Amino acid sequence: MTELCRWLLLSVLVLIAAAKVLHPAGQEALVSGWMALPVAFLEVSIAVMLVQEQLVRPACRLVQLLAMLGIVVALVSRKSCGCIGGWVQLGHAEHMVVASLLGLLATLCHFAWSRRQIRMHQLPSAVES
């Protein structure tokens, strides 16, 4: 479960970063033009953090922060976000759902990884009692 969650989150980050670079959103989107590249770089950097086991929890926190920022943008702005590039045009309700699901996936990954770390570091005598 832990590995599946981690690799799923990593795959989603790489996919949305590729969408920004390969098929950028139009100029009417918030994340467009020159701004798409740094955001895509950040997403790929977080994906690389997810590959390294010692950085999984901080990477999950960063994804949660991105998801929260996406929800705030959807609430405040009337413009398209451009978070999935030009591949998929999201309305405000769809953007809220996608950002919420991404944040939920990051939270589940963080929780599963924390539980795994606790189980790995428990002493055998502590488990029996």
Q: Which is more confident, 55 or 124?
A: 55
**pLDDT at position 129:** 44
The predicted-structure confidence for 37-61, as pLDDT tens digits, reads as follows 898 999 999 999 999 988 999 999 9
Alpha-carbon gap, residue 41 to 30, rounded angstroms: 16
pTM of the model: 0.84
Alpha-carbon gap, residue 25 to 11, rounded angstroms: 20
**pLDDT at position 125:** 52
What are the C-alpha distances in Å from 67 to residues 22, 115, 117, 120? 22, 22, 24, 29
The predicted-structure confidence for 74-111, as pLDDT tens digits, reads as follows 888 877 777 787 777 788 888 889 999 999 999 999 99
